[in-house]
Structure 1
């Protein structure tokens, strides 16, 4: 018998000063049985960072042809493809051909991955790559429950994630800017 995805109820109060986005959103996020807490948290953070009213979670791990998140136009065209983790150069190149905007939110030890990857994707103008700081990301992942209510404030590339009891500051590292 196949393992079922675990649903997480997520409520985000997003205040993105950098983009002028102020929204309260409630979503249910399915966690694949093989997905770690770190990846789940990275997907939720990516949702907050790149929030748009047409942004949706893809099937991710269960369908490798889909993004972790994507923004679709009203006619179903992919406008923004968002991956989390450390995708290889071939996946980034292929994904960047499917959407006018492509972003990666990397996590984990990204130094060696970035050194190998960046020369291969540097000419892809629509690709933006951000990295989460490891200790703060791990701290958030260790605190999640099945019901998540976060206040997420973004200002000057820094995320402040608060759950009412504590706050974690995540300084995003921009490894590659879109041109």
Structure 2
């Protein structure tokens, strides 16, 4: 018998001073049985740090082979943002970069290993694609605090994330690398 996804709800107040984005979000994330808690936290962080009109979690989530973890669409439905999470393969990043005007990767893994996996591979506009990483201990602490219903306040100042997550106060720099 196949296991079904577990739905988690998140109420998040976002104050991204760096981008001038302030929002109160009510989100539902379906966690696939094969998805780690760290991956889900990174999906949530990517969504909040990329938040803009038209953003959404992809329908297939972690199990989707045709879409990234997070998509941004314009009012016509055209994909304008392709945001991968984890350690995507080069073919997915290449396809996303050709399809969308903006592509990014957020990882909870060792960024050097993710970069090494993508280096030398054919990726459209690789030099324009940022790879963002977080402190792995912070992501693990947030993952340990996940419940079915979650509340968070996320503030970003000078690429430093301050996260109050279900009563835990966490912080991490947003480390940025380039594929090309």
TM-score higher than 0.5:
yes
Moved over 4 A (4+): none
Counterpart CA distance in 2 for 1:160 and 1:8 is: 21
Instruction: State the aligned residue count.
Output: 178
Matching residue of 2:156? 154
Deviation at 1:2, TM superposition (A): 2.3
1:5–1:116 distance in 2 versus 1, CA, 3 Å: closer
Q: With structure 2 as the length reference, what TM-score do the two structures score?
A: 0.91
Deviation at 1:52, TM superposition (A): 1.1
The answer to whether the 8 A contact 2:8-2:148 is kept is yes
Query: What residue ranges of structure 1 are gaps of 5+ in the alignment?
Result: none
Matching residue of 1:113? 114
Q: CA-to-partner distance for each residue in 1:37-56, whole Å, 9 max, x for gaps?
A: 01111101111100113110
The answer to whether the 8 A contact 1:3-1:33 is kept is yes
Matching residue of 2:78? 77
Please give the residue correspondences for 1:1-179 in structure 2 after superposition, counting only pairs within 5 Å: 1-58=1-58, 59-120=60-121, 121=123, 123-163=125-165, 165-176=167-178
Query: What residue ranges of structure 2 are gaps of 5+ in the alignment?
Result: none
SS in 1 for 2:105: strand
Counterpart CA distance in 2 for 1:3 and 1:122 is: 36
> How large is the Cα RMSD of the aligned pairs?
1.9
SS in 2 for 1:38: helix
Deviation at 1:115, TM superposition (A): 3.1
SS in 2 for 1:25: strand
Deviation at 1:88, TM superposition (A): 2.1
SS in 1 for 2:126: coil
Deviation at 1:166, TM superposition (A): 2.6
SS in 2 for 1:14: strand
Counterpart CA distance in 2 for 1:60 and 1:76 is: 18
